[in-house]
Amino acid sequence: MNSISSSSSSSYSSSTKVMNKPLSQSSLFSLRYYNCNCNCNNISSSSIPFHSNFPPNNIRLAVVSSSRLPLKCASSSTNFSDPTPNHSSHPTKPVKQSFLSILDILKNSNSLLPPAIVSSTLLALIFPPSLTWFTTRYFAPALGFLMFAVGVNSSEKDFIEAFNRPAEIATGYFGQFVVKPLLGYLFYIIAVTVFGLPTGIGAGMVLVACVSGAQLSNYATFLTDPEMAPLSIVMTSLSTASAVFVTPLLLLLLIGKRLPIDVKGMVFSITQIVVVPIAVGLLLNRFFPPICNAIRPFLPPLSVLTAAICAGAPLALNVECIKSPLGISILLLVVAFHLSAFIAGYMLSGSVFRDSPDVKPLQRTISFETGMQSSLLALALANKFFEDPVVGMPPAISTAIMSLMGFGLVLIWNKSGKHETKQST
């Protein structure tokens, strides 16, 4: 196309502006750019549809004054004055993306907790020396670290939102410090009278039943019902904070006359292990958010590692007793106790909130709160305040059994939830 017809150019000149941009002095052709409203799909080298019914496109028409070249269209945003190619990619982008991917992996590493606990339990039973280095002196610092991680990931807003559901909190608290201790005392009687075990074993069962809820219950609730995770965190935090006074009182009422217990020392120990780390985490989250944001991605993998070691180490340290006939009896008692606690929490919340629209999530949440105890805290208290060494055997076995049973329920309830979702759709 060497030129544009005069009729077309006259009708086009009212709505277009011509700009001549020679490519070079030695070029055999030049480019002309027209601001037009035509559709490029209908442009050919022989004719230009100036009267188009298509919506206006913000383009420039490039007319090449050479018969050997086709007609070209370029965007109006194109910069023709700068021949330098536009490189939109930045070399630092892949580095930033891989760094963010690493952070995501660290934050989501809590999903490795169930297989980590199973692996630690099997390792403790098959090769105990791999975990016997984690002696009882490390239990209190490890538990304090887990409490600190909870505090860093909590805020005063969590407590404020939880107080909007006082009935749920009261029900969970009732299951935690009324139903569960009664079950513990029942199994104390069964252990001593039916199985003929030493009273120290029964005292260990009561000790497991009287401590606060386990932080693992919050993660189990998150895996099954994420919307209930804040409520679970608040219930566990409140039970943990009040355990400073409730746990010694319950032990004094139930077994205080049978075994020597230092109530004042126990209150100080719970304050040091539980209250102080949570308070430090909350204050750090409140007044130093940049520090919390920097350390928060690394807390999940460290918590998974700590919880897995804490679950397997008690089994490794007491593997001979666990494999003995006495250990088998304790294992059966611990399994029956936790199973009864899970069922009791589920039935209790089902009867109280049977008319609630979210009764099933509430049942699962309170079941986790009632069935999963802070067995590490019970083990630390048994090693420090009870003279009879067999008192620590039920908490040691409970540490692993409680975790395995809790996450077993997670798998069951997740499958049943998916099945219910498919049926509803």
Q: What CATH number corresponds to the domain at position 380?
A: 1.20.1530.20
Classify residue 86: in a domain, yes or no: no
Q: What is the pLDDT of residue 257?
A: 55
Q: Rounded to two decimals, what is the model's pTM? A: 0.66
Per-residue pLDDT of the chain (425 residues; tens, 9 = 90+): 444 444 444 444 444 444 444 444 444 444 444 444 555 444 444 444 444 444 444 444 444 444 444 444 444 444 444 544 454 445 555 555 555 566 566 566 667 877 888 899 899 989 999 999 998 788 888 888 888 887 887 777 776 777 789 999 999 999 999 999 999 999 999 999 998 999 999 999 999 999 988 878 888 888 888 888 889 888 988 888 888 888 888 998 998 755 555 677 767 877 888 788 888 988 998 899 999 889 988 888 898 898 889 888 888 887 877 777 788 899 999 999 999 999 999 999 999 999 989 899 999 999 999 999 888 889 888 888 888 888 988 998 898 889 889 888 988 898 776 555 455 55
Residue 82 in any domain: the answer is: no
pLDDT of residue 116: 86
In a domain, 57, yes or no: yes
Q: What is the CA radius of gyration of the chain?
A: 35
**Same domain (yes/no): 53, 183:** no
Question: What is residue 74's predicted lDDT score, i.e. its pLDDT?
Answer: 47
How many of the other CB atoms lie within 10 Å of CB of 192? 17
Domain boundary among 75, 94, 121: 75
Integer CA distances (angstroms), 279 to 156, 271, 292, in order:
11, 10, 14
CA 232, CA 177: separation in Å to the nearest integer?
Answer: 15
Specify the DSSP element, H or E, that contains 410: helix 393-424
27 and 144 within one domain: no
Angle at 30 between CA 27 and CA 32, to 5 degrees: 165
20 and 134 in a common domain: no
Q: Say if residue 318 is in the same domain as residue 256.
A: yes
Query: Is residue 71 located within the same domain as residue 117?
Result: no
* φ/ψ (deg, to 5) at 65: -85, 65
Contact 366, 172 (CB under 8 A): yes
Within this chain, do residues 120 and 233 fall inside the same structural domain, yes or no? yes
Structural domain includes residue 83: no
Residues 284 and 414 in one domain: yes
Instruction: Tokens 């609630």: give the residue.
Output: 356
In a domain, 223, yes or no: yes
What letter does residue 43 receive in the DSSP assignment? -
pLDDT at position 147 is 81
Instruction: Report how many domains make up the chain.
Output: 2
| Domain of 152, in residue numbers | 113-424
Asked whether residue 102 is domain-assigned, the answer is: no
Is 93 part of any domain? no
Within-domain flag for 91:
no
Considering the domain architecture, whether residues 57 and 122 belong to the same structural domain is answered as no
**What is the pLDDT, as a whole number, of residue 336?**
97
- Cβ neighbour number for residue 105 with a 10 Å cutoff: 12
Where a domain ends, among 16, 51, 75? 75
Q: Edge-to-edge, what's the strand order for the sheet holding 31-36? A: 18-21, 31-36, 59-64, 72-75
Q: Residues 17, 155: one domain?
A: no
Question: What is the SS3 assignment for 192?
Answer: helix
**Is the domain of 32 the same as that of 133?**
no
Residues 294 and 169 occupy one common structural domain: yes
Looking at the fold, whether 313 and 217 belong to one and the same domain comes out as yes
Domain end call among 75, 94, 125: 75
203 contacts: CB under 8 Å, gap ≥ 6? 188, 255, 258, 259, 386, 388, 391
What is the DSSP track for 298-361?
Answer: GHHHHHHHHHHHHHHHHHHHTHHHHHSHHHHHHHHHHHHHHHHHHHHHHHHHHHHSTTSTTHHH
